[in-house]
Amino acid sequence: MTSSTRPPVLERFLRYAVLDTESDRDSTTAPSSEKQLRLAELLVEELLALGVEDARIGKGGVVYGSLPATPGCEATPAIGFIAHMDTSPDAPGANVSPQIVRYEGGDVLLNEAQGIVFEAERFPEIRKYAGEDVVFTDGTTLLGADDKAGIAAIVEMVARLQADPSIPHAKICVGFTPDEEVARGTENFDIEMFGARYAYTFDGGEVGGLEYENFNGGTAWVTSTGVGVHPGSAKGKMVNSLRFLAKYIDRLPPEMSPECTSGHEGFVHPNHVEGSVVSSTVRILIRDHDRALYEAKKALLVRIADEINAEFPQAKLDVRIKDSYENMLAYIERTPKVLDVVREAYRRAGLEPVEEPIRGGTDGARLSARGLPTPNVFTGGLNFHGVYECLPVKSLEKACDVALELARLSAEVTSLE
């Protein structure tokens, strides 16, 4: 596929993908990394060039913009389209080098110099896309389809609406958030200024996926405090915090790990450890669709610490837990019209929605809890948060098609009741 034959939505994605927008879990600034503002500024420039006259960067780096309703649709509820600008800190986000490959089946050599191979046996979903153009990484970074594919689909939808004034639509509200990957995407999101009555995040996975229930999610930090003494004279004196932290991690039920769960099953996931003899900490993600089971997992983490503290008096384990987001399902169910509309948009785009729970979180979860019902639409990508992330081009085009159909349907929505 040459640059002259690439669809516009793909050109947009490639332009965004090469920008490093990795967010920072340990930062207290908004956005968490200043480099996210490079993409925010680019998006404002592009939106202004498309005639989105109010495009701007708001508090915390959130990008806002809108298109007025077409004549006769001024009274219809305003519709929102949302995606996030940051990429996950779980894999390198700098020096992204996308490559477009006509996938013919089997493995794909991503990086000859380093011998990095995309193995179809490990990622069997790729086989569904044989005969299609797929965007891969060079095996050293993530791709950024999560969620720059969503941004590309939305901006291209705006471009198509502006190119064809005959398409009727309600007021179109666009929002691009920073820091979704570190659970701070809506921290500074101003719903009133955004202006939509209902919205859709374009932040899902494979083509056809539609999501409106997600994990209740939180994070635990378990800290082990020890006593440091020179190892040459440590007998009976040293308390190695790392050893007791290792005991704690070892007692986490293996059947509750992400590797052993699927569907609606929750998990506890230790994903970062740092420290020394004197003090060490493990960060643990807590997830479950069921609120009671989520609370039980939180209680389990505290109970394991209490048991080790009682069993080993020299151990000093402390658990701190912070809730991040809750399941959006209960909020979406209050306005079922938002699901009727998006299901129809899929069908008009030639797709039957595949409705499934999100095994993660989304900006839409927090926004729904705050009164803006926001289901989640696919972007087409696979294997997010890692160097084997990839994006079938036709799937990205379909995401854009769904966005355009949602815009068309917004002209027909007289009420959300």
Report the binding-site residues: 84, 146, 181, 203, 385
Of the residues 180, 213, 326, 405, only one is catalytic, namely 180
Q: How far is the C-alpha of 203 from the C-alpha of 148, rounded, in Å?
A: 9
Q: How far is the C-alpha of 13 from the C-alpha of 87, rounded, in Å?
A: 13
322 burial class (0-12, 13-18, 19+ CB within 10 angstroms)?
exposed
Q: Evaluate whether 44 touches 55 at the Cβ level (below 8 Å).
A: yes
Q: Evaluate whether 206 touches 129 at the Cβ level (below 8 Å).
A: no
Q: Is 156 an annotated catalytic residue? A: no
Annotation: binding site for Zn(2+):
84, 146, 181, 203, 385
**Alpha-helical regions (H) of 3-126:** 8-17, 36-49
Q: How far is the C-alpha of 201 from the C-alpha of 211, rounded, in Å?
A: 10
Long-range contacts of 120-127 (CB under 8 A, 24+ apart): 122/388, 123/382, 123/383, 123/388, 125/206, 125/382, 126/382, 126/390
Q: Is 180 an annotated catalytic residue? A: yes
Helix (H, G, I), strand (E, B) or coil at 77: coil
Taking alpha carbons only, the member of 32, 62, 57 closest to residue 45 is 57
Angstrom distances, CA of residue 12 to CA of 46, 153, 155, 404: 10, 9, 8, 16
Q: What's the sign of the alpha-carbon dihedral 115, 118, 121, 127?
A: negative
Of the residues 22, 86, 211, 389, only one is catalytic, namely 86
Helix (H, G, I), strand (E, B) or coil at 109: strand
Residue by residue, DSSP assigns 233-276 as G-TTT-B-HHHHHHHHHHTS-GGGSGGG--TT--EEEEEEEEE-
Pairing of strands 79-84, 198-204: parallel
Q: Evaluate whether 81 touches 173 at the Cβ level (below 8 Å).
A: yes
Q: How far is the C-alpha of 205 from the C-alpha of 405, rounded, in Å?
A: 19
Q: How far is the C-alpha of 157 from the C-alpha of 163, rounded, in Å?
A: 10
Residues carrying an active site annotation = 86, 180
